[in-house]
Amino acid sequence: MTEDSPDVIRDALGICPICFVRVPSCLIEKNNQVFLKKVCPQHGPSDLLLSSAPLYYRNLDRMYFSVMDEDKEMGDVELYVTGRCNMRCSICYMSCNSDKNALIGEPSLAEIEQFIRHCKQQMIIIGGGEPTCREDLPEIIRLIRSLGKSVMMNTNGVRLAEMDYVLLLKKAGLQRVNIQFDGFSEEAEVQLRGANYLSEKFKAISNMNAAGMSVGLNMCLVPGLNNRSFGKVLDFIACHPHIVSVNFLTIAKLGAAAAYPDRDYLMPDQAADMFLDELGDKFSRENLFLFQKLHLAMKSFFRQRYCFYSVIYVGVRTKQGYAPLDAFLNFKHLDFWLTLYERFYKKSRILSKAAFILGVLSLFCSRRSWKIAGELLWLSIAYVARSGAYFRPTSFFYINFSTSCDPNKIDYRVSRNCHNEMAFACHVGDALEHHGRSGHVFIRREKVKQQGRAGALE
Ligand SMILES: [Zn+2]
């Protein structure tokens, strides 16, 4: 393959980032990188860099479309309870920093109850806007728990700096929170969040510990601003056992964040590359790849959806700090068994299941694995079942790299398996409704905004 003859990997279904029309698209490999290539008859070609590890990317992409080829179930739904927010973030994809947030209304308690009673998903993630802007948040949590669901919340964490408030939410039944945490630099706080909230966030994290609740960190990653603190973040997590995950989110060209330059809208693989640049002595690209393969197989084995625009790994707390999961498990035979799983997937369910089980067993062909085997098995069951037990602090923490679909990134062939379901009320007083996959919702919203502008020009 030469620079002039890019190698086509597969067809894709993207949109032109200018006119939002679905245009001929494909994945290509060029100069040892993978791109989503789109050609709009009106606005010309656009290339989006997906990965700089083509061998691994191609292997996973092929597997993804072999084992995730049908609409699978989803265990979670994110319930947007308000469009209000007490912060003014420059990277807000919901445009909560604008007074004209026409999308998200505030469903009443009765509307939420009606929705939850008919909701198939087990795990309810309360989001917004900033959910703590609603004074009846404890009642909302109590209601969801009383209907037998697991409940966590996405928050900027500012109000959780008050211990009484944390205890109020805990008493109502809240099981876990994901707090925005963009690293340790004041500069990043001010640029991303509009002011320095570091002391409130540290207080919130310590309050959650004191209240015996688990925490996930959502870190918004902007190149040149806070992409050199992976090690510091992981050290921090290692000595705070109640922190159970960190999600490194790259920004998307949506809402307020659309003002950032195009080079800042990274795909998860690029974020993982930055992580490996810094922590390559502990983590390896190959093991990251093998774990994606295992995770995809696991999701497909249990018939759950998972987005391809997400890279996940697991860290293990040790006496010295932390180590990657591959320091305990044997990854050597994974590729062999999981490739068999993929091959048999459509031909023989029995053989594919056997290959998956043998692949999992091969992980434990290592003496060190027995130190974590029991806890890992228990956590995996809770993870698949999406039960509240999944929130309990363990020796493990998840490391995740993900992004939201935007007009540049969306490939409808990938986003049909988006694992973020959204439900919200469109206007104040309107009933709460299921709106489907977040990627599609965001694109529809950008399109409406764009057509509104075009309409105004006419
Ligand atoms: Zn176009």
For ligand 1, the distance from its centroid to the CA atom of residue 281, given in whole angstroms, is 44
pLDDT at 88: 85
Are both 270 and 168 inside the same structural domain? yes
pLDDT at 416: 82
For ligand 1, the distance from its centroid to the CA atom of residue 71, given in whole angstroms, is 29
pLDDT at 127: 93
Helical H segments across 1-90, by residue range: 54-67
Asked if residue 69 belongs to a domain, the reply is no
Q: Radius of gyration over alpha carbons of the chain, in Å?
A: 22
Please state the φ and ψ torsions of residue 423, each to the nearest 5 degrees.
-135, 135
pLDDT at 452: 65
pLDDT at 314: 96
- Nearest-angstrom CA–CA distance, 437 and 421: 5
Q: Which residue in 146, 91, 122, 173 sits closest to 421, CA to CA?
A: 122
Return the SS3 of 70. Answer: coil
For ligand 1, the distance from its centroid to the CA atom of residue 413, given in whole angstroms, is 19
Are both 214 and 314 inside the same structural domain? yes
Q: Which residue in 132, 214, 206, 141 sits closest to 165, CA to CA?
A: 132
For ligand 1, the distance from its centroid to the CA atom of residue 229, given in whole angstroms, is 38
pLDDT tens across 364-416, in order?
999 999 999 999 998 888 888 877 777 788 899 999 999 988 999 999 988 88
What is the tally of structural domains in the chain? 2
Asked if residue 441 belongs to a domain, the reply is no
Are both 26 and 140 inside the same structural domain? no
Determine how β-strand 321-324 pairs with β-strand 396-403: unpaired
The helices-and-strands tally (H runs, E runs) of the chain is 14, 15
Q: Reading across the β-sheet that carries 33-40, which strands appear in turn? A: 7-15, 22-30, 33-40, 44-51
Query: What six digits make up the tokens of 123?
Result: 């795990």
For ligand 1, the distance from its centroid to the CA atom of residue 405, given in whole angstroms, is 18
Q: Which residue in 65, 8, 15 sits closest to 405, CA to CA?
A: 15
| pLDDT: which is higher, 426 or 222 | 222
For ligand 1, the distance from its centroid to the CA atom of residue 41, given in whole angstroms, is 7
Q: Which residues contact 1 (CB under 8 A, 6 or more apart)?
A: 7, 29
Are both 169 and 41 inside the same structural domain? no
For ligand 1, the distance from its centroid to the CA atom of residue 18, given in whole angstroms, is 5
Are both 106 and 198 inside the same structural domain? yes
Asked if residue 219 belongs to a domain, the reply is yes
pLDDT tens across 268-293, in order?
999 999 999 999 999 999 999 999 99
For ligand 1, the distance from its centroid to the CA atom of residue 48, given in whole angstroms, is 15
- Nearest-angstrom CA–CA distance, 132 and 315: 30
Helical H segments across 68-211, by residue range: 109-117, 137-146, 163-172, 186-193, 198-210
Residue 39 has pLDDT above 80, yes or no: yes
- How many Cα atoms are found within 13 Å in the side-chain-facing hemisphere of 201? 21
- Helical packing angle, 54-67 and 334-344, nearest 10°: 40
| pLDDT: which is higher, 47 or 423 | 47
Asked if residue 377 belongs to a domain, the reply is yes
Residue 455 has pLDDT above 50, yes or no: no
Max Cα distance, the chain (Å): 71
For ligand 1, the distance from its centroid to the CA atom of residue 406, given in whole angstroms, is 15
What CATH number is given to the structural domain containing 121? 3.20.20.70
pLDDT at 156: 95
Asked if residue 435 belongs to a domain, the reply is no
In which region does residue 196 sit, left (phi positive, over 0), alpha (psi from -120 to 50) or beta (all else)? beta
In which region does residue 399 sit, left (phi positive, over 0), alpha (psi from -120 to 50) or beta (all else)? beta
Amino acid in the structure at residue 247: N
Residue 439 has pLDDT above 70, yes or no: yes
Query: What six digits make up the tokens of 101?
Result: 């947030």
Amino acid in the structure at residue 294: L
**What would the mean pLDDT of 209-236 be, rounded to a whole number?**
94
Are both 83 and 186 inside the same structural domain? yes
Determine how β-strand 33-40 pairs with β-strand 44-51: antiparallel
Are both 234 and 131 inside the same structural domain? yes
Q: Which residues contact 276 (CB under 8 A, 6 or more apart)?
A: 283, 284, 285, 288
Return the SS3 of 106. Answer: coil
Q: Which residues contact 334 (CB under 8 A, 6 or more apart)?
A: 290, 293, 294, 359, 362, 363
For ligand 1, the distance from its centroid to the CA atom of residue 42, given in whole angstroms, is 5
Element of type H or E holding 26:
strand 22-30
Residue 101 has pLDDT above 60, yes or no: no
Residue 99 has pLDDT above 70, yes or no: no
Apex CA 318: angle with CA 314 and CA 322, to 5°?
A: 50
Which residue's entry shows tokens 């023989």?
348
Which domain covers residue 372, as residue numbers? Answer: 76-329+366-403
Are both 39 and 134 inside the same structural domain? no
Is the full-model pTM beyond 0.85? yes
Asked if residue 373 belongs to a domain, the reply is yes
Are both 112 and 146 inside the same structural domain? yes
Exposure string for 365-388, b = 16+ CB within 10 A, e = fewer: ebeeeeebeeebeebeebbbebbb
Tell me if 312 sits within 8 A of 299, measured CB to CB: no
Asked if residue 344 belongs to a domain, the reply is no
For ligand 1, the distance from its centroid to the CA atom of residue 23, given in whole angstroms, is 8
CA 260 to chain centre: 21
Are both 162 and 26 inside the same structural domain? no
Instruction: Report the DSSP beta bridge partners of residue 127.
Output: 80
pLDDT at 427: 64
- Nearest-angstrom CA–CA distance, 455 and 458: 5
For ligand 1, the distance from its centroid to the CA atom of residue 98, given in whole angstroms, is 27
For ligand 1, the distance from its centroid to the CA atom of residue 457, given in whole angstroms, is 18
pLDDT tens across 27-37, in order?
999 999 999 99
Please state the φ and ψ torsions of residue 76, each to the nearest 5 degrees.
-120, 155
Band (pLDDT 50/70/90 cuts) for residue 42 is: very high
Are both 205 and 261 inside the same structural domain? yes
Asked if residue 374 belongs to a domain, the reply is yes
Tell me if 420 sits within 8 A of 438, measured CB to CB: yes
First to last CA, the chain: 48
Are both 143 and 267 inside the same structural domain? yes
pLDDT at 76: 85
For ligand 1, the distance from its centroid to the CA atom of residue 57, given in whole angstroms, is 27
How many other CB atoms are found less than 10 A from the CB of residue 130? 23
For ligand 1, the distance from its centroid to the CA atom of residue 439, given in whole angstroms, is 19
- Nearest-angstrom CA–CA distance, 248 and 118: 32
pLDDT at 69: 67
Mean pLDDT of the chain: 90
